[in-house]
């Protein structure tokens, strides 16, 4: 068997077939270090990851660029500026409770119904790889009362918005994101929502796109190798929750120093960035016993996949339910290994681990 080389760096690890031995070496040898190639500090252990996510001087955006320069003065930029998850300080404190309340208003039964309905509708008309991203977006859109006739258009707008706000997005992608932002904001405003509420309504679908797509895809990838795990409806939830820990859909996130600070025994200067390895923290013995063992029956599962601290995601239970209910519905209609071919790699993303399947 040919030995697979280690990833070149923690960003390349996201698309590596098995990045976890590499993460383990970082935890042992370099729990917090400055990666000269990336120009970022890298936090690899649970201790340093937790500390970074909770440090009051580490922010979600560079202090000198609260909105990406290419988006300033655009409709997409206006939405970006109103996203609670992309803001700190007073704006975050004032608006996060409403975002959390909006996420809590959906019962898990409602989430499961929306996901199963979306899954069965989409499976008949989109390919397996498109299904990964359209399923979570359309499940959220149904929960957000998007009219049936606008579900497909809404999915396209959300995808365009995500692509247009990405780093190094082309002018054409930004233009599409602007049009998408206008359409999606109009949806929220038509429901009587204000500008901040409408923008964060978009965020609920936007965050579902990559994070839940990775959760669905990584669960399928696991079950192709371990089909015996699926035995009951209860197992679906336990399997997906353990996948979220064991093979995190979002492998890393970033924080930026708003002032000089100390972290993990290192001095970080104002303006420097920290790459926070959520997936590595999940496999830290300090967080979970026997962390490299996949165990759906794990009693005290702890996961950093949805973050921690002020920017911890309030939608973790929703994401797990969308993936579990959607996959359960798909599998009942057609075995997953028929719907999804073998995994051929991962989408070229810097933080989300989304498999690519042969059709």
Average pLDDT over residues 294-300: 93
Pairing of strands 343-346, 32-35: unpaired
Q: How many CA atoms lie within 13 A of 209 on its CB side?
A: 17
Q: What is the DSSP annotation of 251-285?
A: -EEEEEESS-EEETTEEE-TT-EEEEEHHHHHT-T
Q: Token digits for 320?
A: 């797990």
Global pTM value: 0.95
Whether 245 has a pLDDT exceeding 90, the answer reads yes
Residue 73 DSSP label: T
The CA distances from residue 52 to 167, 256, 310, in Å, are 22, 10, 11
Residue 295 in contact with residue 289, Cβ under 8 Å?
A: no
As a whole number of angstroms, the distance between CA 115 and CA 103 comes to 15
Average pLDDT over residues 44-61: 97
Average pLDDT over residues 146-164: 97
Instruction: Give percent of the chain above pLDDT 70.
Output: 99
Confidence at residue 359, expressed as pLDDT on a 0 to 100 scale: 75
Q: pLDDT-derived band of residue 233, with 50, 70 and 90 as boundaries?
A: low
Average pLDDT over residues 101-123: 94
Output Rg (C-alpha) for the chain, integer angstroms: 20
Per-residue pLDDT of 251-284, as tens digits, reads 999 999 999 999 999 999 999 999 999 999 999 9
As a whole number of angstroms, the distance between CA 260 and CA 255 comes to 13
Q: pLDDT-derived band of residue 80, with 50, 70 and 90 as boundaries?
A: very high
Residue 224 in contact with residue 342, Cβ under 8 Å?
A: yes
Confidence at residue 52, expressed as pLDDT on a 0 to 100 scale: 98
Confidence at residue 213, expressed as pLDDT on a 0 to 100 scale: 96
Average pLDDT over residues 208-232: 89
Confidence at residue 231, expressed as pLDDT on a 0 to 100 scale: 62
- Ordered domains of the chain (ranges, CATH): 12-357 (1.10.630.10)
| Total H helices, total E strands in the chain | 14, 9
Confidence at residue 2, expressed as pLDDT on a 0 to 100 scale: 62
Whether 232 has a pLDDT exceeding 80, the answer reads no
Whether 11 has a pLDDT exceeding 90, the answer reads yes
Confidence at residue 3, expressed as pLDDT on a 0 to 100 scale: 73
Angle at 129 (CA atoms; ends 168, 133), nearest 5 degrees: 65
As a whole number of angstroms, the distance between CA 159 and CA 162 comes to 5
* Mean per-residue pLDDT of the chain: 94
Average pLDDT over residues 118-125: 96
Per-residue pLDDT of 19-39, as tens digits, reads 999 999 999 999 999 999 999
Q: pLDDT-derived band of residue 99, with 50, 70 and 90 as boundaries?
A: confident
Grouping H, G, I as helix, E, B as strand and the rest as coil, residue 253 is strand
Backbone angles phi, psi at 13, to 5 degrees: -60, -25
As a whole number of angstroms, the distance between CA 179 and CA 191 comes to 19
Average pLDDT over residues 114-126: 96
Query: Which residues lie closer than 8 Å to 356 by C-beta, 6 or more apart?
Result: 129, 343, 344, 345, 346, 347
Pairing of strands 58-59, 252-257: antiparallel
Query: Which residues lie closer than 8 Å to 141 by C-beta, 6 or more apart?
Result: 151, 154, 155, 158, 205
Whether 1 has a pLDDT exceeding 70, the answer reads no
Confidence at residue 148, expressed as pLDDT on a 0 to 100 scale: 95
Whether 287 has a pLDDT exceeding 90, the answer reads yes
Q: Token digits for 209?
A: 């796109």
As a whole number of angstroms, the distance between CA 269 and CA 260 comes to 4
Average pLDDT over residues 219-239: 85
Lowest mean pLDDT among 3-12, 107-116, 185-194: 3-12
Closest CA to 289 of 300, 305, 277, 281: 300
Confidence at residue 103, expressed as pLDDT on a 0 to 100 scale: 82
């Amino acid at each position: 068997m040919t030995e697979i080389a280690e990833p070149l760096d923690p960003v390349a690890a996201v698309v590596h077939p098995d990045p976890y031995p590499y993460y383990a070496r970082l935890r042992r040898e370099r729990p917090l270090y400055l990666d000269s190639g990336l120009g970022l500090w890298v936090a690899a252990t649970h201790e340093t990851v937790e500390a970074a996510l909770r440090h009051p001087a580490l922010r979600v955006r560079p202090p000198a660029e609260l909105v990406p320069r290419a988006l300033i003065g655009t409709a997409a930029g206006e939405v970006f500026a109103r996203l609670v998850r992309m803001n700190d300080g007073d704006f975050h404190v004032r608006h996060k409770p409403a975002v959390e309340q909006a996420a809590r208003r959906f019962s898990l039964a409602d989430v499961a119904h929306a996901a199963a309905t979306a899954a069965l509708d989409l499976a008949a008309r989109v390919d397996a790889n498109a299904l990964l991203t359209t399923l979570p977006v359309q499940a959220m859109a149904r929960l957000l009362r998007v009219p049936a006739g606008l579900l497909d258009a809404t999915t396209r707008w959300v995808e365009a918005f995500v692509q247009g706000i990405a780093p190094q997005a082309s002018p054409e992608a930004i233009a599409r994101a602007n049009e998408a932002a206008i359409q999606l904001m109009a949806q929220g405003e038509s429901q009587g929502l204000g500008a901040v509420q409408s923008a964060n309504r978009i965020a609920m679908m936007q965050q579902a796109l990559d994070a839940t797509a990775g959760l669905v895809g990584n669960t399928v990838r696991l079950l192709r190798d371990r089909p015996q795990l699926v035995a009951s409806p209860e197992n679906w939830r336990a399997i997906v929750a353990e996948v979220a820990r064991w093979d995190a859909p979002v492998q890393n996130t970033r924080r930026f120093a708003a002032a000089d600070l100390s972290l993990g025994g290192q001095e970080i200067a104002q303006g420097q960035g920290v790459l926070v390895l959520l997936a590595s923290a999940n496999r830290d013995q300090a967080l979970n016993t026997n962390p490299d063992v996949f165990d759906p029956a794990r009693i005290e599962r702890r996961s950093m996949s949805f973050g921690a601290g002020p920017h911890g995601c309030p939608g973790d239970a929703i994401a797990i339910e969308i993936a579990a209910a959607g996959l359960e519905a798909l599998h009942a209609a057609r075995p997953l290994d028929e719907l999804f071919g073998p995994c051929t790699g991962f989408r070229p993303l810097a933080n989300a681990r989304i498999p690519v399947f042969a059709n």
